[in-house]
Structure 1
Amino acid sequence: MMDSHDRSGSADESRARTPEAVAPPTPGSGLPVSRPARTILITALLGYALLTAIRILSAGMSPTAEATSLLLLLMILALQLLHSTPGINRVPLSRKCLTLTLQALLTYLPILVFQAYWETMAGYLAGSLVLLLPARVAWPLYAIVGLSMLIPPLLDGRPLIESILFSQTTLLAGLVLYGATRLTELITHLHTTRGELARQAVTGERLRFARDLHDILGFSLSAITLKSELVHQLIPTHPDRAVQEINEVLVIAGQSLTDVRKAASGYRTMSLQQEIRAAQTMLDAADVDVRVKVEHGTLSPHVETALATTLREAVTNLLRHSNATHCGIKAVQQDGLVRLVVENDGVDPAYRNLAPHSGNGLDNLHARMTAIGGRLESGPGKDGTFRLLAEAPARKTSQTPGKLSAEPGEIRFPPNGSAA
């Protein structure tokens, strides 16, 4: 029988690697999909500023007052554009309080000169408060700003209904600016999230393909290598048996090519029964005594594919990393759960695989079993044995079952060398 180093040294390792992480795009207003919302926001800001400028210029004030009002309008407009920038909430609170204080001064002090002509600017301040401050503080201040606009028209001797109109205008302007700014942010965030989801989908598909290639080629190349070495030994003494083994090599190579094509197309189902038969043939060729027990009934295609993949990887590892003479394979279904147990002897407790990128096979199996709501346990047992136990619901589920329960009828290898 060939030793474990012959098995592992001549097999090709196709290891699944996690694709490089893709940095998420930074949210901003330059995305094409967010430009219309940003345009609406800027148009609303300019519209309120233009309304105030027209009212002041048509009031017959002195050129100095008009020039001063236009300068102050530009300052408030610049502050409001800053406050309506996506991501402004990430700046320190002290900076936000400073710019809000400056905007409040530019809002209320000019009222002493321009009176009711300046009251439209209070809508900017109301919108900035709810944009920058925590809700428990922002909305009371928003209401205070709106109510404060009741006072200037009354002091100017105007009717109460006009004061109410100015207050309502202030509150409405604040809501419009708040809604337009939030709309821009949400559209930008949605576009960024969609891009990130697309990147994650691509990354997941690359990982799936890498895992499938590892599972397919790891087993197939090991089988081809094993049988080719057997053919090399049989040619001088048993040429007819060598021809039979060569035919089986061709069948394995053809099936491997078919599996790779299915994996590339995103659809690949596997039969647990077929994998058990393939494992028996492969282990027989390696002079490993195999005992099989199959009582699993009908399984979901996803579950059966995951268990078949698990068996394939277990047999591959057995041939590569052990000097097994006996192997037990059991697939049973009980209480809605299906259990696959693969146990073999001939394990060297001191053996460690030092090959680069080694160990991804079991990691892939853990990921597959978790995806169908199952679990995987593996590790060395007593007397130089290695045991792999996979358990999953017979039907695919998104929930992960509890700890694997103790299983009756475990495989034992007695001293006389026969499987129990």
Structure 2
Amino acid sequence: MTTFSAADSALGYLYQVRVALLWSLRRARAGAEFIVSLETLDDVTFDAFQASGPKADELLQTKHHRKSEASLSDASGDLWKSLRVWFEGHANNTIPSGTALYLLTTGAAPRDGAAWFLRSDGARDVEKALQKLETVTQTSDSQSNAPAYQAFSAVSGAARRAILDNVVVLDRAPGILAIDDELREQVHFSAATKHLDAFLQRLEGWWLRRVIKQLSAVPQPAGILSDEIEAEMTELREQFKQDNLPIDDDLLQFTLDDETHAAHEGYQFVHQLKLIEATKKRVAAAIRDFYRAFEQRSRWLREDLLLVGDLSRYERKLVEEWELVFEGAKNEIEATAAEAAKRKAARSILAWAEKATIPIRPGVTEPFVVRGSFHMLADEKPPRIGWHPDFHDRLAEILNPSGSVPPTDASGGEAE
């Protein structure tokens, strides 16, 4: 396969996935209950719920072309590949009679061609389309289309007409990038206008993972329930309310790897933990939470879901709460206390921080945001918080003047 054809194939699959989401959102908004599946009876299959169980009521073939001038001529491979699937499906009874059959393509149907007469507008004329397709089967010498011609010709004229009555060609469809506008329209009231892109990014991320799960499961499940789509939409809407913020699945599922662990070994917040003899597992958990919180906060800022002023106010609140606990712990030990006693007190302060519930917004209850933010404050230069009663002096002793710890900016990230 050439690089060009490989790219076309990849874009075609991604287009199919995005179109399936778009059509699913439209059906969900209309209040329909359905099951959607990819690569089963067709590229995209919609099953409606009936008394006898789910039944396919819409099949969708998607054809994406990087060149917008691609033509859906009477002998077009795109057209006949779709017709072959549908005619063979009717012949072997895998496609129920009366099922709506859609061919959605970024290409154009030439005026007065078979595909033109199968469109849904006023030019639709199934009889003319049938005549043109029958002519093609008799005059075309295309070897690639031969199996499709055979499937088409194997049924009676009346059966051909009955199947074509259910075929609708949707040409000049928006390409894989242009489809963004239509997706935004479907989720328009789900989040503030300036946050729609962030909302869609998360919805599409979930959708892609869900499609992969459906395609890779053995045996393959029936499909994706409309209830699942509604549930994910509801969850995302809640996360995009003013009293909440979205927590990304990839960060929730992040597990600390050796590379990330090693990359943070020299950070100041790690030195603070080693200073109080925190266990290796505790240090690893801190690095994990630091990474998660830094990444999540960075995304919120990039997507304008959170303002720098909001973050500053939150950090002031964290520092104030820490200060009360820190000073309280210092009051309980003598200035001349042994180092072991100081470290024990420090670990109790860390334990408080690990369990603290101080949300950045009322709806944000994910613990790593709080824990990781504390470690980011402990990593600032100079540190805004610490665990050891004498953390300022002790850090100065163990860190050389040239700064063996990577310098960080005010939000806890490495300076550029």
> For the pair shown, which has the larger CA radius of gyration, 1 or 2?
1
Query: TM-score with structure 1 length normalisation?
Result: 0.25
Higher helix proportion: 1
TM-score, with length taken from structure 2? 0.25
Structure with the bigger RCO (C-alpha within 8 Å, sep 6+) is 1
